[in-house]
Amino acid sequence: MTSAIRPFRPGDRSAPDGAPRAWSAARALMLAGSLALAGCSGTALLPTPDFPATPVILDESAAAAAISRYRAGHGLGPVVVDSSLIRAASLQAASNARAGYLSHEVGGAFDARLRRAGFGGRYAAENLSAGSATFEEVLRRWQASAEHNRNMLMPQVRRIGIARVDAPGTRYKRFWALILSDS
C-alpha cells in the first residue's frame, strides 16, 4: 500500500492527511503544547551528541609525501601541507568525532568553513572517513572510493590539510578529514 501527501487547499473540509480540519488543529495544539513543556524541562527533546574527542598528532609531511607519490603515479604534481587547511581539517574531524558520525555539514557548510580558515582559492575538496587506524589504511580507502579518489587526483590541487580526531565512545572510534585545495 502506498500513501501520497496531497497539498492542503483552502475550502477543503479535511487536512492533507484526510483527518477533519478541527481534529488536525487539535493534534497540532497538543503537539505544540508537548514541545513547549519539553522545552521547560531543561533537556532537549533530541539531545545533540557530544562525545569526548582527542586530536591525534599526525606526520602531515609524510601524508603529503604519500599523496604526492600517488598523484605522481597519475602524472600530477605534488602537494604541500598548509597550516590553515590543517586547522580546517582538524575542526571538521573534531565536529564529526563529537557528533559520532560522518557528515560534511556537521561543522558547518564546507565553503563557510574554508572562508573561516582563510582559504582564498578556486578549487577545494574534502575527504572524510571514520574507523581507519592508520593513515595508510585511510589512504587506501580513499583511493578505492571513486569520489574520494577523484578529489585526490584533481589536477589543480597543490595544498592539503589532514587531521584525525579520536572519539573512543563512538561506533567508529577514529575520524579523519582531508582538505585539498589549489592555493
Q: How confident is the model at residue 25 (pLDDT cuts 50, 70, 90)?
A: very low
Phi, psi angles (nearest 5°) of residue 166: -95, 140
| Whole-number CA gyration radius for the chain | 23
Length of the chain in terms of residues written: 183
**Residue 149 cell numbers, joined:** 579518489
Number of C-beta neighbours around residue 61 at 10 A:
10
Query: Could you tell me which of 133, 131, 121 has the C-alpha nearest to residue 161?
Result: 121
pTM equals 0.73
Q: Dump pLDDT digits (tens) for 27-81.
A: 433 334 433 333 333 333 444 678 988 889 999 999 999 999 999 999 999 999 9
d(CA 83, CA 90): 10
